[in-house]
Amino acid sequence: MEKDIYILGIESSCDETACAVVRNGREILSNIIASQADFHERFGGVVPEIASRMHVDAVYPTVRDALDKAGLSIDEIDAVAVTYGPGLVGALLVGLSCAKGIAYSSNKPLVGVNHMHGHIAANYLCHKDLEPPFLCLSVSGGHSEIVYVKDYSDMEILGSTRDDAAGEAIDKIARVIGLGYPGGPKMDKAGQSGDINAYKFSHTHMKDSLDFSFSGIKTSALNQLNELKMRGEVPVLSDFAASYQHHIASELVRNVVLAVKMTGIRKVCLAGGVSANSFLRKMVDETSQKEKFDVYYPDLKLCTDNGAMIASAGYFEYIRGVRHGIDLNAVPSLSL
């Protein structure tokens, strides 16, 4: 029998300090997340300097908790995986410095992980038999992409946003309608009993392309809110939230269907924070039945940033021999 491989995964690219231990890339032994969201809420978004400082306080206790919960010592870990981009540079540097320190002092290999590979890998933790190739709709606060996942480390972007990410477009409007930060989960909740057809927004479709554009949709939402305000009216919150999310979901799903038709690949995963969205999940489910493709989501807790997804992606890099030196630097705009 082959020896089990244990990866410690560290994530600090935005406002979650997270660390996990994962066995053989698929089984979570611990997954500790220290979220800073409450501290950023009063500023309406992530303040990079505050994020970096809070990561410094949280990173070592988070690592210790992850090892304790897994019941392992650092000596029993095979490699330390860490997000080195994309993300906020100061925030990334904290997790990276911690990972380098642990790897160096305990003489373990260091494996740098692309955060977006991590989001995709969250699916391997939830679907034990899932293997590439598949298509992945990767939608988060900073990214909206349709990715052709050819192999665990070999991916091609088939379409991406030309302006705002889907999560950014949701967070911005959530803030304007008074829901606060982080807007995605709050908007999701607010829209639950709403009418998806109550408000209409503009469409932006690129001809012969799987690219997205969300800034026009965001502007059309802002214009409607302004017009209502000028008339002394307020939107029906649940209807506005439901219609807006339904509209964004339909833009995303439209390109997923196109990608399935273009590639002939009938296996589709969702990844990233926005893949937790109930409007998107419902539409993807309905569409997958109609268009006959299989769909996979990460569990809700694994959609947003976490250490387990980094440990899983790190495992697949580790087994193909990827090792990084102590000179590994943060790459804030690292591409897929």
Q: Which does 155 bind (CB under 5 to 8 A by kind): Zn ion, ligand KG4, none?
A: none
Q: Which does 167 bind (CB under 5 to 8 A by kind): Zn ion, ligand KG4, none?
A: ligand KG4
Query: Measuring CA to CA, how many Å separate 242 from each of 43, 44, 110, 200, 233?
Result: 25, 21, 44, 11, 18
Residue 163 token pair: 């302006």
Q: Is 325 in contact with 110 (CB distance < 8 Å)?
A: yes
- Select the span of 132-140, 144-152, 183-191, 287-295 touching Zn ion (CB under 5 A): 132-140
The residue among 89 and 257 lying less far from Zn ion, judged by its C-beta, is 89
User: Closest separation between CB of residue 161 and ligand KG4, Å?
Assistant: 12
The residue among 112 and 182 lying less far from ligand KG4, judged by its C-beta, is 182
305 is an interface residue for Zn ion by CB under 5 A: yes
User: Closest separation between CB of residue 264 and ligand KG4, Å?
Assistant: 28
User: Closest separation between CB of residue 234 and ligand KG4, Å?
Assistant: 22
The residue among 26 and 175 lying less far from ligand KG4, judged by its C-beta, is 175
Phi, psi of 87 (to 5 degrees): 160, -170
Q: Are strands 27-35 and 134-139 parallel, antiparallel or unpaired?
A: unpaired
User: Closest separation between CB of residue 294 and Zn ion, Å?
Assistant: 24
CB neighbour list of residue 208: distance below 8 Å, 6 or more residues apart: none
How much of the chain is in helix, strand and coil states, percent to nearest 5?
45, 20, 35
- Select the span of 139-147, 211-219, 247-255, 325-333 touching Zn ion (CB under 5 A): 139-147
CB neighbour list of residue 243: distance below 8 Å, 6 or more residues apart: 191, 194, 195, 196, 197, 198, 199, 200, 201
The residue among 21 and 166 lying less far from ligand KG4, judged by its C-beta, is 166
CA atoms within 13 A on the CB side of 60: 6
Q: Is 244 in contact with 199 (CB distance < 8 Å)?
A: yes
The residue among 159 and 184 lying less far from ligand KG4, judged by its C-beta, is 184
The residue among 6 and 244 lying less far from ligand KG4, judged by its C-beta, is 244
User: Closest separation between CB of residue 324 and ligand KG4, Å?
Assistant: 21
- Tell me which residue of 183, 266, 169 sits closest to 219, measured CA to CA: 169
CA distance 318 to 336: 18
17 is an interface residue for Zn ion by CB under 5 A: no
Residue selected from 36, 114, 138, 140 as contacting Zn ion according to rule CB under 5 A: 140
User: Closest separation between CB of residue 106 and ligand KG4, Å?
Assistant: 28
168 is an interface residue for Zn ion by CB under 5 A: no
Q: Are strands 27-35 and 267-271 parallel, antiparallel or unpaired?
A: unpaired
Q: How many residues bind Zn ion (CB under 5 A)?
A: 2
The residue among 20 and 67 lying less far from ligand KG4, judged by its C-beta, is 20
Instruction: Provide the residue type at 280 as one letter.
Output: L
User: Closest separation between CB of residue 14 and ligand KG4, Å?
Assistant: 5
H-type alpha helices, the chain:
37-41, 48-70, 89-106, 115-126, 166-176, 183-190, 215-230, 237-263, 278-291, 300-303, 307-319
Q: Which spans of this chain sit near ligand KG4 (rule: CB under 6 A)? A: 14, 119, 140-142, 167, 170-171, 182-185, 188, 272-274, 276-277, 304-305
Q: Which residues bind Zn ion (CB under 5 A)?
A: 140, 305
